[in-house]
Chains A and B, each alone.
Chain A
Amino acid sequence: MNSIIVDFLEKALVSDYVSSVLVPSGGPDNTFPWTLISDVSALAMAEPVPPVMYVQGAKALASFTQSMTEGKLLAVMRPCEARAAVELSKLEQIDLDNIILLTMDCPGAVPLKEYRRDAGIQPDISIPETIRPLCRQCTEFTSAGDLCLAMHGGLREVLPLTPAGQELLDSLGMKAEPDTSAWIEWASSLKAEREAVSTENRKSLKKAYSGLEGLVEVFSGCISCRSCRTVCPICYCRLCFIDMKDRRCPASAHLENSRSSGAARVMSGTLLFHIGRMAHMSLSCVSCGMCEDACPSDIPVGRLVSMVSAGTTAVFNYSAGSDPEDPLPLNTFRLEELHEYED
């Protein structure tokens, strides 16, 4: 898969249709930093689909594309990263105008901490144990962005998904019109399988950690490092509500909490942070699992946000990252709607 993509990137760079490429490359100590490449020779280091996710691709992309790019940029990322990029463009953190997103049939990613212990592990789509819990239940594992490298159903082919993707293929003189029926078959059956897994997982997650007791339990190990937020592509605010000065909980407030129950946890605001965060961003969560990978306390924080996201997106029939034209639910409204929430 890597070599097909690298060949494609090379063609694109040489053609001058694309002026730079964003792709993970092999770095020291089994790392795969995102690299912005202008020179074809630098593609030698490219590892387009590394076994792990160190930095969410959309986060990397957003770090330098808030304003118009000069010349076209071709970014290779996993489907969840491409979907996050779409969300970020709606949030005005990425200007997608001159950016072409190339995704692939995603094999999943190895949990980061496991990979750091044993860099021999490779993600295998058919062995759930090798990939992250959220990857195991991911239903959007292919066909995001402008182009997608299909690797199943007998294909080894970059397929166009949007006019921008088609235009790139045309300019590279890639005209193949393969038979995609077996591939579509593969995708829909895996999707069905994963949907069942995800429903099941969400159910058991909800059962295990439902209600105040459950939430207190699941977040009891949270050390307020905020890494989940910092690495999340959707959480783009420079200063999060939880860190604002007026959120500070002074000694007297802590004491009041403590008096009402006998004792109060300090470094308060753990649940406020997580619930507040979910209220802010769950609509745009792409279930990429980056937050969970980063959590030093092994809290299933990504699975929880993803579970909540299933509930909030259903209200608006919204699907994060699917359609760049579909407005963010909180940035629009209908005059007649949601009457069951008001009186």
Chain B
Amino acid sequence: MEDFEPRIIGFLCNWCSYAGADLAGTSRLKMPPNLVPIKVMCSSRVDPEMVTDAFLRGADGVLIAGCHPGDCHYDKGNYYARRRFAVLKKVVESLGLEADRLRLSWISASEGARFQQVVEEFTEKIRKMGPNPTGKETLL
């Protein structure tokens, strides 16, 4: 699996994490090209079924990123998002699927460096895990 390049889907909240990603870009921080960002208005917009869909279609990792607790643009969205994420993780875990391919991170608009670090770390972790077997399953 030496030439394995993980494909990671990132649901980034518009107000913090997407802006953080932007900042990482404009600051010319070097970043692995593995994350495909999808802008959402708030981390709480991410229905678990969107994550499941990406996961089952072969995304090697799925990241949800939003404002730090207390900073959500809509006040409490990320607290709800955290609960939903916990449920999804448990569902995936109970079914014996690889819950480690899912991650929830809080990244503010000013944390370009943190964004870079999260993406790098997550990419490396997924690289070690290898490709998501859902991508090769013919009876899915």
Partner pick for A275 among B56, B69, B85, CB 8 A cutoff: B56
User: Which A residues are in CB contact (< 8 Å) with B106?
Assistant: 342-343
B138→A280 contact, CB < 8 A = no
| Interface set, chain A 256-300, CB cutoff 8 A to B | 257, 260-265, 268, 270-272, 275-276, 278-280, 282-283
Given A272-B56, A275-B92, A308-B91: A341 and B136 interface contact (C-beta under 8 Å)? no
Chain A count of residues within 8 A CB distance of the other chain: 48
A308→B94 contact, CB < 8 A = yes
Segment of A3-11, A107-115, A330-338 engaged in the interface with chain B: A330-338
A residues in contact (CB < 8 Å) with B = 206, 209-212, 214-216, 220, 241-242, 257, 260-265, 268, 270-272, 275-276, 278-280, 282-283, 304, 307-308, 310-312, 314-316, 329-330, 333-335, 337-338, 341-343
Partner pick for A262 among B79, B92, B138, CB 8 A cutoff: B138
9 contacts between A and B (CB under 8 A): A212-B133, A216-B140, A261-B137, A275-B49, A282-B91, A312-B87, A312-B90, A315-B86, A329-B87
A343, B95: Cα distance in complex, Å: 24
A241→B47 contact, CB < 8 A = yes
A283, B106: Cα distance in complex, Å: 25
B139→A265 contact, CB < 8 A = yes
A261→B135 contact, CB < 8 A = yes
User: Which A residues are in CB contact (< 8 Å) with B94?
Assistant: 206, 307-308, 310-312
B residues in contact (CB < 8 Å) with A = 47-49, 52-53, 56-58, 69-70, 76, 79-80, 82-97, 103-106, 118, 133-140
Partner pick for B84 among A215, A310, A330, CB 8 A cutoff: A330
* Secondary structure call for the A interface: helix
A210, B88: Cα distance in complex, Å: 16
Shortest CB distance A112–B (Å):
26
Shortest CB distance A87–B (Å):
15
User: Which B residues are in CB contact (< 8 Å) with A216?
Assistant: 137, 139-140
Shortest CB distance A56–B (Å):
22
A-B contact count (CB 8 A): 127
Shortest CB distance A111–B (Å):
24
Closest to A274 in B: B95
A74, B138: Cα distance in complex, Å: 51
A69, B70: Cα distance in complex, Å: 41
Query: In the complex, which of the residues B53, B106, B118 has the most CB atoms of chain A within 10 Å of its own CB atom?
Result: B53
Partner pick for B86 among A242, A263, A338, CB 8 A cutoff: A338
User: Which A residues are in CB contact (< 8 Å) with B135?
Assistant: 260-261
- Apart from A261-B135, A329-B83, A333-B79, list 9 A-B contacts with CB within 8 A: A209-B96, A220-B139, A264-B140, A275-B52, A279-B52, A279-B91, A282-B91, A312-B87, A330-B84
A272→B90 contact, CB < 8 A = no
A282→B138 contact, CB < 8 A = no
The 8 closest A-B pairs by CB, nearest first: A210-B96, A276-B49, A279-B48, A311-B94, A333-B79, A211-B96, A263-B138, A308-B94
Given A260-B136, A279-B88: A341 and B82 interface contact (C-beta under 8 Å)? yes
B134→A212 contact, CB < 8 A = yes
User: Which A residues are in CB contact (< 8 Å) with B91?
Assistant: 275, 278-279, 282, 308, 311-312
Shortest CB distance B64–A (Å):
10
B97→A212 contact, CB < 8 A = yes
User: Which B residues are in CB contact (< 8 Å) with A311?
Assistant: 90-91, 93-94
A260, B132: Cα distance in complex, Å: 12
Closest to A258 in B: B138
A330→B97 contact, CB < 8 A = no
User: Which B residues are in CB contact (< 8 Å) with A316?
Assistant: 83
Given A206-B96, A241-B49: A265 and B140 interface contact (C-beta under 8 Å)? yes
